[in-house]
Protein backbone atom coordinates (compact mmCIF):
# COMPACT_ATOMS: atom_id res chain seq x y z
CA UNK A 1 0.00 0.00 0.00
CA UNK A 2 1.30 3.40 -1.00
CA UNK A 3 1.45 5.92 1.86
CA UNK A 4 -0.70 9.05 1.38
CA UNK A 5 1.03 12.29 0.35
CA UNK A 6 0.57 13.58 3.91
CA UNK A 7 2.70 10.78 5.36
CA UNK A 8 5.70 12.49 7.01
CA UNK A 9 8.15 9.98 5.51
CA UNK A 10 7.92 11.65 2.10
CA UNK A 11 9.02 15.03 3.47
CA UNK A 12 11.61 13.47 5.76
CA UNK A 13 13.21 11.58 2.88
CA UNK A 14 13.31 14.70 0.73
CA UNK A 15 14.79 16.91 3.42
CA UNK A 16 17.36 14.29 4.50
CA UNK A 17 15.87 14.01 7.98
CA UNK A 18 15.45 10.28 7.48
CA UNK A 19 17.71 8.21 5.24
CA UNK A 20 15.61 5.59 3.43
CA UNK A 21 16.98 2.13 2.84
CA UNK A 22 16.18 2.05 -0.87
CA UNK A 23 17.59 -0.88 -2.83
CA UNK A 24 16.25 -0.01 -6.29
CA UNK A 25 18.71 2.17 -8.21
CA UNK A 26 15.95 4.19 -9.89
CA UNK A 27 14.54 5.10 -6.45
CA UNK A 28 17.95 6.23 -5.23
CA UNK A 29 18.62 8.33 -8.35
CA UNK A 30 15.21 10.02 -8.25
CA UNK A 31 15.50 10.75 -4.54
CA UNK A 32 18.94 12.30 -5.04
CA UNK A 33 17.68 14.55 -7.83
CA UNK A 34 14.60 15.61 -5.88
CA UNK A 35 16.66 16.35 -2.77
CA UNK A 36 18.89 18.65 -4.82
CA UNK A 37 15.82 20.38 -6.25
CA UNK A 38 14.37 20.93 -2.78
CA UNK A 39 17.69 22.22 -1.41
CA UNK A 40 17.87 24.79 -4.22
CA UNK A 41 14.21 25.70 -3.99
CA UNK A 42 12.49 24.74 -0.69
CA UNK A 43 9.15 25.90 -2.10
CA UNK A 44 9.27 22.89 -4.40
CA UNK A 45 8.87 20.40 -1.52
CA UNK A 46 5.18 19.68 -2.15
CA UNK A 47 5.79 19.10 -5.86
CA UNK A 48 8.73 16.83 -5.04
CA UNK A 49 6.56 14.78 -2.68
CA UNK A 50 4.02 14.34 -5.46
CA UNK A 51 6.71 13.38 -7.99
CA UNK A 52 8.30 10.83 -5.67
CA UNK A 53 4.94 9.34 -4.73
CA UNK A 54 3.87 9.19 -8.39
CA UNK A 55 7.09 7.35 -9.22
CA UNK A 56 6.25 4.64 -6.69
CA UNK A 57 2.62 4.55 -7.80
CA UNK A 58 3.52 3.91 -11.42
CA UNK A 59 6.54 1.62 -10.88
CA UNK A 60 5.53 -1.46 -8.95
CA UNK A 61 9.10 -2.82 -9.12
CA UNK A 62 10.20 0.05 -6.87
CA UNK A 63 7.46 -0.37 -4.28
CA UNK A 64 9.57 -2.88 -2.38
CA UNK A 65 11.60 0.14 -1.23
CA UNK A 66 8.59 1.39 0.70
Confirm if 16 and 35 have CB atoms less than 8 A apart.
yes
- For 31, counting Cβ atoms within 10 Å of its Cβ (0-12 exposed, 13-18 middle, 19+ buried), the class is buried
Cα 26 from chain centre: 11
Average pLDDT, the chain: 94
What pLDDT was estimated at residue 1? 82
* C-alpha to C-alpha distance for 3 and 9, rounded to whole angstroms: 9
Q: Per residue in 36-49, pLDDT tens?
A: 999 999 999 999 99
Q: What is the CA radius of gyration of the chain?
A: 11
Amino acid sequence: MLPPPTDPRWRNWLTSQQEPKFTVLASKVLLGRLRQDVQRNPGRLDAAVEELRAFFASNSFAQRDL
